[in-house]
């Protein structure tokens, strides 16, 4: 089973309110990723966990937080949502990392901030 | 920096015609190249990957050759079907020692019956 699951599939949030997105995989993959995708743009890596170590991209360091309580689950947390956070959020996992392993993507969570 | 440039869509074809989606990449390292495909309501999924230069990858009738000389990885299919309608992404992985995948902007393909 190569399924990555994401919840919820759709999320409506108010400006200034927190948002928590959930991802799970049962492939025992070491690495889990979060991407942000806006219309007509390429998916953009926000952060990833390799085992228990979190790596955040420099330009998103303060905007997103994450936790990985166990190998299967990973969350993406926005403390105070702004209009610019409206996007599709894609979770992915891979057995290893270093960009050469196949990443398996979930269906995404569409976030709309009003 | 590392980047990927691919055919801007949308592309509309009739069933049975041939497809080429151009992809060029820039990197100073030796990346793995991927084509991912995304169907409506789903996340991107691997079509195929090629880890080494001058090798070809293929799946479901799609193919691409990792050409280090021209830094290209064009996607081709001889005869498209309506079920091929999707967004296709050319992707660079492992460039500059990075763990991230660098996606092209995607090419929306619609195949008319």
Q: Please report, in tens digits, the pLDDT of each residue of chain B (113 residues total).
A: 789 999 988 999 999 999 999 999 998 888 899 999 999 989 999 999 998 999 999 999 999 999 999 999 999 999 999 999 999 999 999 876 677 889 999 999 999 99
- The residue in chain B having the minimum alpha-carbon distance to the alpha carbon of residue A88 is B43
**Contact (CB, 8 A) for A36 and A88:** yes
Q: What is the pLDDT of residue B83?
A: 96
- Measured in angstroms, the CA of A79 and the nearest CA of chain B are apart by 24
Tens-digit pLDDT profile for residues A58-76: 888 789 999 999 999 999 9
Compute the nearest-CA separation of B97 from chain A (Å): 7
Would you state the pLDDT for residue B63?
Answer: 98
- Inter-chain CB proximity B46 and A99 less than 8 Å: no
Q: How far apart are CA B75 and CA B77, in angstroms?
A: 7
In sequence order, which residues have a C-beta less than 8 Å from that of residue A70 and are 6 or more positions away?
A: none
- Residue A8, both tokens: 């919820």
Does residue A36 belong to the interface with chain B, where contact is any CB pair within 8 Å? no
Residue A73: CB atoms within 10 A of its CB come to 14
Q: Which chain B positions have a beta carbon within 8 Å of A48's beta carbon?
A: 99-100
Predicted local confidence at residue A16, as pLDDT: 96
Residue A1 has pLDDT above 70, yes or no: no
| Cβ-defined contact of A107 to B43 (cutoff 8 Å) | yes
Has residue A2 got a pLDDT over 90? no
Q: Residue B53 and residue B66: Cα distance in Å, rounded?
A: 5
């Amino acid at each position: 089973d190569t399924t990555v699951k994401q919840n919820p599939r759709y999320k409506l949030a108010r400006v200034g309110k927190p948002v928590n997105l959930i991802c799970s995989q049962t492939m025992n993959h070491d690495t889990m990723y979060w991407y942000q995708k806006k219309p007509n743009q390429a998916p953009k890596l926000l952060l990833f966990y390799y085992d228990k170590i979190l790596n955040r991209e420099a330009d998103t360091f303060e905007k997103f937080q994450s936790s990985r309580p166990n190998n299967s689950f990973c969350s993406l947390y926005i403390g105070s949502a702004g209009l610019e956070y409206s996007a599709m959020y894609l979770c992915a996992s891979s057995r290893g990392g270093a960009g050469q392993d196949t990443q398996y993507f979930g269906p995404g969570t569409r976030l709309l901030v009003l | 920096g590392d980047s990927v440039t691919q055919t801007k869509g949308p592309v509309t074809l009739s069933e049975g015609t041939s497809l080429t989606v151009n992809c060029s990449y820039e990197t100073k390292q030796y990346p793995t190249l991927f084509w991912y495909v995304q169907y409506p309501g789903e996340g991107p999924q691997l079509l195929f990957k090629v880890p080494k230069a001058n090798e070809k990858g293929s799946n479901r009738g799609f193919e691409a050759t990792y050409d280090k000389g021209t830094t290209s990885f064009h996607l081709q299919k001889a005869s498209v079907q309506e079920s091929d309608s999707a967004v296709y992404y050319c992707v660079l992985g492992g460039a500059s020692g990075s763990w991230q995948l660098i996606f092209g902007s995607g090419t929306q393909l619609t195949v008319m019956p």
